[in-house]
Amino acid sequence: MKRLILPLLAVLALCGFKPGLPLRYDTGPVHLTVIDRDSGKALTQYRQGPQRWVAGQQGHRYSVRLRNGSAERVLVVLSVDGLNAISGEVAAPGQTGYVLNPWQTTDIHGWRKSSEEVAQFVFTDPDRSYAGRTGRPDNIGVIGVAVFHEAGRVSMAVAPAAAGSADAKARPQARSSSLESVRVTGSSAPAPQLGTGHGEREASRVRNTAFERDTPYPAQQVQVRYDSERNLIARGIIPRTGTPARGEPQAFPNRYVPDPPPYPGR
């Protein structure tokens, strides 16, 4: 599955990005999901007020799945820990982004190193994260996208057989889930205990394409914060279920009595 990259005119800064002009925090065409690549599962998103959270696991690789639920091309600028996932700069919408074709779904596996490969996203300690190691730790613990429509676009219905591109096996999707863009606010809880590392390199080919956005500000902004499961439980974001943590003694670990092993010497 190829991804399309393009350079953009610098305009304003927002989202983990620094805000300049007033932002529009509304729903839009792109659905963002965080995928744990080691388990193969999509991480559950939890709400706390206007914020969304996912629980990552130390050492696990992850990808950011982007699904365009519209019949038009869109531009998606991806920010991880406040840094542009393609250029490595402090993230701003006026930077390089990914172009998704109508109905296209693509997984972004890591920090882009060239048009041929990426360095894997991996959950790690903040001081071992890419942002931490490059002296820019202020926005560790947040993944965000800024989405732009294309200038001169013509809205039209796309038949299932016609939807798609040569870059991905596209398929019409049901209307995107309502993912509101959310502003990261301060919290009395401790600082995030996970960051995103600069992992092993893997093949990931992209090509350039022309794209002119229709406005100087994004049509959609989405942010998802992440931390360890233990910390999210402590924050009250993940409800306590009463299930003992892994490794803790349990009074009823099984339902039946198994046979004991042979006694030594008998």
Q: What is the pLDDT of residue 29?
A: 95
**239 with 34: CB under 8 angstroms?**
no
Q: 8: which DSSP letter?
A: -
Phi–psi pair at 24, nearest 5 degrees:
-105, 110
**70 with 114: CB under 8 angstroms?**
no
pLDDT tens digit sequence for 32-71: 999 999 999 999 999 988 899 999 999 999 999 999 999 9
- Within the chain, residue ranges assigned H as helices are 130-133, 229-235
Low-confidence ranges of the chain (pLDDT < 50): 1-26, 155-189
**50 with 26: CB under 8 angstroms?**
no
pLDDT tens digit sequence for 198-215: 999 999 999 999 999 999
**188 with 253: CB under 8 angstroms?**
no
Give me the DSSP letters along 106-175: EEE-EEE-SSSEEEEEEEE-GGGSHHHHTT--TTTTEEEEEEEEBTT-------TTT--BTTB-----PS
Whole-number Cα distances in Å, 32 to 133, 183, 256: 26, 15, 44
Which of 242, 259, 261, 258 lies closest to 250, judged by CA? 242
The token pair that represents 241 in the structure block:
């279920």
Q: What is the pLDDT of residue 245?
A: 54
Q: What is the pLDDT of residue 33?
A: 96
